[in-house]
Structure 1
């Protein structure tokens, strides 16, 4: 794979991973619309590692708190903020892992990787995001995250396995419906992405190992580095813009792209 292709994949993954526009949908569309070869699982793993590093760095204080809390959980104690945060993150991750395994075993995950599915998901869940953002109350903060809300957001996160839905988009939608502010809904969504990305990268990594595909270290390094830089930039920009801008620009992009994809699929 050429350096240009690697950079393109890394940029797309990095920029779209944390924006509510569906990174998986864009990566599926790349070979379909550009004629480029499919990037393969080893490159997918590398891109996920890069974006994981970006979100961990950006929310390091919360990640460090959760890591310390995980040690308390392993001792059977939920007596600190970190332990409770770690418990909420684990609970919120269970649904997407269970549903993801079911889809993989049954082969439904591959069956949904079509342009029409992505187009409809872009439009439908874009409209849902707009409605939730405009009508959801703003009475809760991330510091007040509850186990009940973690379960609900985790169930919504499982819906993101439909290509084009957007993991960040659907969890932000859930957060806004539950009454979290824009920035706090986004923060919870980003924290939820960490164990989800780890689980996804681990699953892809097992497939790579079983297939005996170790890949080229140069290609891996390029994708990890570029996806990290792009993800950190996109995440920083979005979190700053949410101080004064709604999710409407992302919704407009989703609907425009969705309409274009449906035209391609059905024309």
Structure 2
């Protein structure tokens, strides 16, 4: 890979991992729309590590409180709001892990076409637009979720296995439909990304070890750093942006991109 490809793929991954516009769609589309060769598994791992480091660093204070309270709940120390949130994040991750592992070959080989991406961008974009339009101005935070809410959001997260859906997009959509605030929905979605990205990255590392290919460490390190920086900035400014403006600009972007893909590849 040349350095332009490294920079573009790293920044695209860092930005789209947390924006409701589908990172998988953009990472699939970049090589489709350019003459670039596949970046390889090692580089994919680096991009995931960068994004994971960014979200952990951004929510480090919440994660420390959640971890301490969650561990205390295992020892019978009671259930405060931080411990409960820790359990909710784990519980909401179970469906996508089970379904993703069971159907990983179908997802990897049979659903990564530009047509599927275009339809998903448009369809789930419209649902996001509706959810944001009907949201409550005094919506709940991530600390006010109940069991049924978590199961609904966790079930919705399974749809993110379809390229073009967007993991953050579908979980934010589900949370908004449940009456959460924009910021609360986004924050819970970002917390949910931590185990998902970690598990996905772990599977890629296993595959990388099995392949035993040579690794270009310079591109891997630069890719991880650029992905991490862009992801951290994305999280920070996205939370500010949606509080003031909302989700509709992302809905418009999804509709335009999806329509362009269908026109280009149908």
- If the length of structure 2 is used for normalisation, what is the TM-score? 0.95
The 5 Å alignment of 1:237-256 reads 237-256=237-256
Provide the C-alpha distance between the structure 1 equivalents of 2:40 and 2:217, rounded to a whole number of angstroms.
14
Please give the residue correspondences for 1:108-187 in structure 2 after superposition, counting only pairs within 5 Å: 108-138=107-137, 139-187=139-187
Question: Which structure 1 residue ranges, 4+ long, deviate > 3 Å from structure 2?
Answer: 73-78
CA distance in 2, matches of 1:59, 1:121: 29
Greater mean alpha carbon deviation, residues 119-128 or residues 2-11: 2-11
Cα deviation 1:31-85 (Å, max 9, x = unaligned):
1111211112211111111111111111122111222234235446652333211
1:157-214 C-alpha deviation (Å, 9 max, x unpaired) = 1100100000000000001000001111111111111111111111111111111135
Q: Deviations over 1:124-148 (max 9, x none)?
A: 0000000011013343122212222
Q: How does 1:184-263 map to 2 (within 5 A)?
A: 184-213=184-213, 215-263=215-263
Query: Is 1:50 aligned to residue 24 of structure 2?
Result: no
Secondary structure of the residue aligned to 1:164 is coil
For 1:18-37, what per-residue CA distance to the aligned partner results, in whole angstroms no more than 9, with x for missing partners?
A: 00000011001111111211
Matched, 1:3 2:3: yes
- 8 Å contact 2:46–2:224 — kept in the other structure? yes
Q: Unmatched 5+ residue regions in structure 1?
A: none
SS in 1 for 2:140: coil
SS in 2 for 1:20: coil
Structure 1 range deviating more: 208-217 or 22-31: 208-217
Structure 1 pair 158–76 and aligned structure 2 pair: CA distance change class (3 A)? farther
SS of the equivalent of 2:245 reads coil
1:257 counterpart SS class: helix
- For residues 217 and 179 of structure 1, do their structure 2 counterparts lie closer, same or farther at Cα, with a shift above 3 Å needed? same
Normalised to the residue count of structure 1, the TM-score between the two structures is: 0.95
Q: Find the counterpart in structure 2 of residue 69 from structure 1.
A: 69
Alpha-carbon separation, structure 1, partners of 2:233 and 2:123: 27
CA RMSD of aligned residues (A): 1.4
| Corresponding position of 1:18 | 18
8 A Cα contact 1:133 1:247, kept in partner: yes
Gaps of 5+ in 2: none
Q: Size of the alignment, in residue pairs? A: 265
Partner of 1:127: helix, strand, or coil?
helix
Between the aligned partners of 1:46 and 1:74, the Cα distance in structure 2 is 33
Structure 1 stretch displaced more, 135-144 or 72-81: 72-81
| CA contact 2:96–2:157 (8 Å) conserved in 1 | yes
